[in-house]
Chains A and B, each alone.
Chain A
Amino acid sequence: MSRSVLGRAEEGARPARLDRDRGLVEAARRDPSRFDALYRKYLAQVYSYAFYELRDHHAAEDATERVFMQALAGLPRFEERVDAFIASRAPANPAEAADISTFRVWLFRIARNVVANERRRDRRRPVSSLEAAAELSAPDDVVDTATTREAVSEAWQAVARLPEDRRRAVILRFVDEMSTSEIAAVLDRSEGAVRVLLHRALRSVADDLASGERSGRRGRLS
């Protein structure tokens, strides 16, 4: 398939939108050792995604390694398709259009497949809870720590209870800060479907929080 952005720019038909990672991607294509910049930029995002999905630091590290190795090997085949992406997804606002990275979408599609394979392989292995995996170090300020732990724990528990597709959308939205159109591209869903997934996920979390409060009140009263 041709590289649409370059082609259109050369034709001069209209100004092509540029992928925000274009410079880094082009540098890495010319010299694979320059892939390091892309790796450093997206390491935490990919690792977080893997960690929230697999709930285990070791498994997340394995998955992260596979993702970046596959990305390095596949970089020559990566196609920057910002214009096609924008045309098909029609982002809601201009800022989103200016901030699109098809490389990130491509990377997360690799991550999605790697994590899915990892989950299939380790289905029989029990997974630790997200809260246990996210244990924070002992702090000086007991009140602040209790607040943080409680907030993190409640959020993680609520997310862990979500069905797989909603949880994935929530992680990409809240942890990796992707737009609806990016999530749609990563998950191979329509934007409308992603919107509904997120809305339903938040509805479930809201119900969870409400029932948690009710049981907390009952606990305090008894």
Chain B
Amino acid sequence: MLGHGTRDARRTERYLDGLMAADDRRAHEVPVDADLDPAIRLAARELRSGLIRVHPSFRFEDALATRLAAGALRLRAGLPLDDANAGPVPGTLAQFRRSESGTDMAAAPDPEASATPVARGHALSPAAWRRLPDMSNRPSRPLIVGGVGVASAAISIGAVYVAWRHSHTASGRMGRAARAAHGRSTHPSHSRRAGVINGILGVVS
């Protein structure tokens, strides 16, 4: 027979499952066990809205991707990964991510691409646009961007841009580029949290 504490813990777990599932389908109603302490419910909601996922800076993401690609080449060549920081295997190119069509997105470093897209104005160069990470597989949770840049104005705008992209899930890259270029958004906010993030994004949209 279950003890009192175990029963409460199971109730809490069911509520958390419901809370996450409701968020996934953008529903406001969460099934609630009448015996669940309202204070626990409130705490769960606070944590759900307050504990946001943090994304590293794009610069870090791409730098690590490059190191991993170099490491992968070493592994493929039968060399130990430990020396991957020494650079790619001579005579080979570090492989960057590929587009859906399979073509290399960036074979050579693009000095422009290291700048935050929004910081360079709303008109993105095609090269910089291609360097933007594909966010389509990422969850629709609000994000903030970390790294050195959080303290700087430029990357702060980058953080805003990431959050904006996450709160505007539909459309392709061209649509997003057009909206960025014209400085407006046609998408309504999808949830309360998205609305709050959109509020922060007044500087972009």
Q: Are B199 and A202 touching (Cβ within 8 A)?
A: no
Contact in complex: A202, B44 (CB < 8 Å) = yes
Given known A-B contacts A140-B202, A144-B196, A170 and B47 have beta carbons under 8 A apart: yes
Is B47's CB under 8 angstroms from A159's CB? yes
Partner of A33, one of B40, B73, B156: B73
Known: A33-B95, A136-B159, A151-B50. A195 touches B10 (CB 8 A): yes
- Are B81 and A69 closer than 8 Å at their CB atoms? yes
> Which of A135, A154, A177, A203 sits near B40, CB closer than 8 Å?
A203
Can you list, as one digit per residue, whether each of A133-150 has a CB less than 8 Å from chain B (1) or not (0)? 111111111011101100
Min C-beta distance of B155 to chain A, whole Å: 9
Within 8 A of A (CB), among B9-61: 9-10, 12-13, 16-17, 20, 37, 39-40, 42-44, 46-56, 60-61
Q: Which of A38-46, A106-114, A116-124 contacts B (4 or more CB under 8 A)?
A: A38-46
B202 near A141 with CB under 8 A, answer: yes
Contact partner of B51 (CB less than 8 A), chosen from A40, A43, A140, A170, is: A170
- The SS class assigned to the A binding surface is helix
Whole-angstrom distance from the CB of B169 to the nearest CB of chain A? Answer: 16
Q: Closest chain B residue to A208 by CB distance? A: B43
How many Cβ-Cβ contacts under 8 Å join chain A to chain B? 206
Residue in B54, B76, B148, B159 whose beta carbon sits within 8 Å of that of A48 in the complex? B54
Instruction: Kindly identify, within residues 136 to 195 of chain A, every residue whose CB is under 8 Å from any CB belonging to chain B.
Output: 136-141, 143-145, 147-148, 151-156, 158-159, 170-171, 173-177, 179-180, 192, 195
- Closest chain-A Cβ to B55's Cβ sits at a distance in Å of 5
List B109-159 residues whose CB lies under 8 Å from chain A.
133-134, 137-139, 141, 143-144, 146-148, 150-151, 153, 156-157, 159
CA distance A180 to B6 in the complex (A): 14
B residues apposed to A, CB below 8 Å: 5-6, 8-10, 12-13, 16-17, 20, 37, 39-40, 42-44, 46-56, 60-61, 64-65, 67-69, 71-73, 75-76, 81, 84, 95, 97, 133-134, 137-139, 141, 143-144, 146-148, 150-151, 153, 156-157, 159-160, 195-197, 199-203
Q: Sample 26 A-B pairs with CB under 8 A, ordered by A number.
A: A35-B72, A36-B72, A36-B95, A39-B65, A39-B68, A40-B133, A40-B134, A44-B55, A44-B56, A57-B147, A60-B56, A61-B147, A69-B81, A92-B13, A93-B17, A138-B156, A139-B200, A140-B203, A144-B199, A156-B51, A174-B51, A195-B6, A198-B12, A202-B47, A205-B43, A206-B40
Given A72-B75, A136-B159, A192-B9, 19 more A-B residue pairs with CB atoms under 8 Å apart are A32-B73, A36-B68, A39-B64, A44-B56, A57-B146, A57-B147, A61-B60, A69-B68, A73-B75, A92-B13, A145-B200, A147-B196, A158-B47, A198-B13, A202-B12, A202-B40, A203-B43, A205-B43, A207-B39
